Structure 1
Amino acid sequence: MRDRGLKKKGFAEAELATAWQVASLLLGYPDEELLARRPLLRRAVAGLPAAAGTPLGGFLDHLDATLLRELESDYVETFDHRKRCCLYLTYYAYGDTRKRGMALLRFKQAYEAAGLVLDDGELPDHLAVVLEFAATGNLTEGRRLLLEHRAGLELLRLALTESRSPWSAVLEAVSATLPPLSGRNEEAVARLIAEGPPEEEVGLAPYGSGAGTSGPVFLPDPVLEARSS
């Protein structure tokens, strides 16, 4: 039986997968390969509901109008130099703490259960990776990961919008595929804006170390955790 919760108003499962795959590609580092895919991406976007198709199409217009070296420079300035524009989802809920290491392990185990093995140097919570997994690996599990980090996604969208980044259009499209923010999510976003991610002087433990665990590590929903603390 299919998960009825996967179908948000206006999006069929195939449309969700298409929107997430396109967004995944557009959130990767811009290069010649991405630019060469523009005609294919435009055809994919043309079949999407306007809530996702319009902002994704707008970002493709930006790719058409911008030199590659400018795209590369803007990408680094946006995502590598601004903490509030971090593409690593667990950062918003856990910061650089040991709890984040366990959250990363949960992502990795979800991917391995679907037969996806990442390179050792690739963190599994990068939004482009999560979206690709949701689109091509396991739609239900990928959506769950996105919803667990809904507050972080919204903070990222707001930060990109505030800085007038062209990538805000991609986050707008991703948000359109998810349920509207609830009261809990809105409070979690407000708290993240006010306080920022948690900090811990000891730093981040390696997510793959396992620390003696013998099975999946199930963590509480970061939104609920933020609400109750």
Structure 2
Amino acid sequence: MQIANVISLLLDYPTEGIIEAKNDLLEIIEKSQLPPAEKQGLAAFVRDRCSRDLMDWQSDYDALFERGRALSLLLFEHVHGESRDRGQAMVDLMNQYKSAGLELDVRELPDYIPLYLEFLSTQGEENLQLGLQEVAHILALLAARLEQRESNYAAIMHALIHLSGVVLDVDDVREQIANEARDDTKEALDKVWEEEMVTFGPDSTADGCSSAVNKPSDTQRKDQLVPITWSDFKDAGQSEAQRGN
């Protein structure tokens, strides 16, 4: 689905190419099957962000998604944290990608949401929905936290929740995180940097997490894909939302 590709692009690190593609993005959003509220939210996001200075947009992106773990765009961060289970989950997800013809660079983490969306967009509409259903509680958690920080990136998460077809009580999630301690403060970040960073792959010293991939072609689609199993997903999502209360 084109709308999944658009959302993947909007969630990735901002580039000049996104601004140049503004009109095309708005056209795809308008023609999508999203309901009016989600269309308006995404369109407003595109117009607002593309009207800003690119460096300001990039700075805001870094402040939101690269400081602290509460808004991490790495799915397993919210499910497994730094436990050993995360490593095996990475391997399982990478095998799913490879079976669909998607080859990742050693620096690319497979649970990065824009990459996950790129993958799902090649697997047929039904599997796209199933894949989003498996992470819907994480998306709701991110939506609530983004709302709390008054960021219009929340509109992207709400659009993904709608695409999943899952009916979630986001108000309940908002209530759970109401008294959650921020993890992007100077004190919280200093504490995180004292911990050893967990990396994956033979080239774990490589810095960064590139989102450039060799995307599967239509001929590599696997519409009979068996969706990934996210063990203890719902409980993990709920406990993550309650952390810091």
Band of TM-score, shorter chain:
0.7 to 0.9
Q: CA deviation at 1:77?
A: 0.6
Paired residues in the alignment total 198
Gaps of 5+ in 1: 1-16, 209-216
Q: CA deviation at 1:174?
A: 1.1
Aligned partner of 1:20 in structure 2 is 4
Which of 20, 24, 46 is equivalent to 1:40? 24
Matched, 1:60 2:71: no
Q: 1:140 to 1:109 in 2, by over 3 A?
A: farther
Q: Which amino acid aligns with 2:74?
A: Y
Q: Which amino acid aligns with 1:36?
A: E
Q: CA deviation at 1:144?
A: 3.2
Distance between the aligned counterparts of 2:149 and 2:64, measured in 1? 9
Identity of aligned residues (%): 26
List structure 1 segments (4+ residues) > 6 angstroms apart after TM superposition: 193-196, 225-228
- Per-residue Cα deviation, 1:146-202 (whole angstroms, up to 9, x for no partner): 32222221111111111011211111211121211279xx68x949x8799xxxx88
Q: 1:155 to 1:60 in 2, by over 3 A?
A: same
Aligned partner of 2:219 in structure 1 is none
| Contact kept in structure 2, 1:102 and 1:207, CA below 8 Å | no
Distance between the aligned counterparts of 1:177 and 1:148, measured in 2? 12
| Contact kept in structure 2, 1:98 and 1:204, CA below 8 Å | no
Distance between the aligned counterparts of 2:229 and 2:167, measured in 1? 25
Aligned partner of 2:59 in structure 1 is 73
Matched, 1:121 2:107: yes
Aligned partner of 2:242 in structure 1 is none
Q: Which amino acid aligns with 2:49?
A: L
Which of 104, 108, 129 is equivalent to 2:94? 108
Q: 1:19 to 1:150 in 2, by over 3 A?
A: same
TM-score normalized with structure 2 length: 0.69
Matched, 1:31 2:15: yes
Q: Which amino acid aligns with 2:55?
A: R
Tell me how large the CA RMSD over aligned residues is. Answer: 3.2
Matched, 1:176 2:162: yes
| Contact kept in structure 1, 2:69 and 2:77, CA below 8 Å | no
Q: 1:162 to 1:129 in 2, by over 3 A?
A: same
Once the two structures are superposed, the pairs formed by residues 1-229 of structure 1 within 5 Å of their partners are 17-48=1-32, 49=34, 50-178=36-164, 179-181=166-168, 190=176, 204=198, 206=200, 220-223=231-234
Q: Which amino acid aligns with 2:26?
A: R
User: Which secondary structure state, in structure 2, belongs to the residue aligned with residue 84 of structure 1?
Assistant: coil
**Structure showing the higher helix proportion among its residues:** 1
Aligned partner of 1:9 in structure 2 is none
Q: Which amino acid aligns with 1:222?
A: F
User: Which secondary structure state, in structure 1, belongs to the residue aligned with residue 156 of structure 2?
Assistant: helix
User: Which secondary structure state, in structure 2, belongs to the residue aligned with residue 85 of structure 1?
Assistant: coil
Q: 1:163 to 1:218 in 2, by over 3 A?
A: closer
Gaps of 5+ in 2: 183-194, 203-227, 240-245
Distance between the aligned counterparts of 1:75 and 1:174, measured in 2? 19
Distance between the aligned counterparts of 1:41 and 1:97, measured in 2? 38
147-156 or 134-143: which moved more? 134-143
